[in-house]
């Protein structure tokens, strides 16, 4: 298992170099997909996923929303697992994850302004954005080595 959770985090990859090349291609594809879903007028729902939004009954529309929220929950769980790995094995990655946390919550905040959603009241996540954006920056600041233990 040491090749999955190595003792040391550096830029050394012990496997075949084709893996790095294909991982880079997958990474670029993932970036493209996520940018498309964030920027496309329909979020990719009809244009990519072929979800016939205009023909949905209210029940079908509700099922689609619930499905998308379930996918979002899966993504949040994966991020949380990465946080747990950082806490238990790779604390050196905490500053990087704090930076990514800042980017994620700032992105949520911005997407909320560019793609407003009609809701009956502010969801907890919207309130959390206002807390997590500055908190992640403060924690990142105090993650600098100069603040460490003497």
One digit per residue, the tens of pLDDT, for the chain of length 150 reads: 788 888 888 888 888 999 999 999 999 999 999 999 999 999 999 899 899 988 999 999 999 999 999 999 999 999 999 999 999 999 999 999 999 999 999 999 999 889 888 888 888 888 888 999 999 999 999 998 888 776
How far apart (Å, rounded) are the C-alpha atoms in residues 73 and 81? 12
Instruction: Report the pLDDT value the prediction gives residue 150, as an integer from 0 to 100.
Output: 60
pLDDT score at 4 = 84
Query: What pLDDT, on the 0 to 100 scale, is given for residue 123?
Result: 83
Cα separation, 104 vs 136, in Å, equals 10
What SS3 class is residue 28? helix
Residues 6+ apart with CB under 8 A from 48: 36, 37, 40
Q: Which two tokens stand for residue 25?
A: 């291609």
Q: What is the DSSP string of 29-58?
A: HHHHHHHHHHHSTTTTTTTTT---GGG--H
Supply the pTM of this predicted model: 0.83
């Amino acid at each position: 298992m040491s090749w999955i959770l190595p003792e040391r985090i550096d830029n050394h990859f012990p496997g075949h170099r084709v893996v790095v090349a294909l991982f880079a291609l997958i990474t670029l594809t993932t970036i493209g997909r996520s940018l498309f879903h964030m920027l496309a007028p329909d979020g990719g729902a009809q244009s990519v996923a072929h979800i016939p939004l205009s023909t949905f009954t209210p029940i079908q529309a509700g099922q689609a929303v619930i499905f998308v929220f379930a996918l979002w929950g899966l993504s949040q769980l994966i991020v949380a697992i990465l946080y747990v790995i950082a806490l238990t094995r790779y604390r050196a990655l905490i500053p990087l994850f704090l930076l990514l946390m800042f980017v994620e919550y700032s992105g949520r905040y911005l997407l909320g302004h560019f793609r407003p959603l009609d809701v009956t009241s502010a969801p907890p996540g919207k309130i959390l954005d206002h807390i997590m954006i500055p908190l992640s920056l403060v924690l990142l600041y105090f993650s600098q080595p100069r603040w460490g233990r003497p």
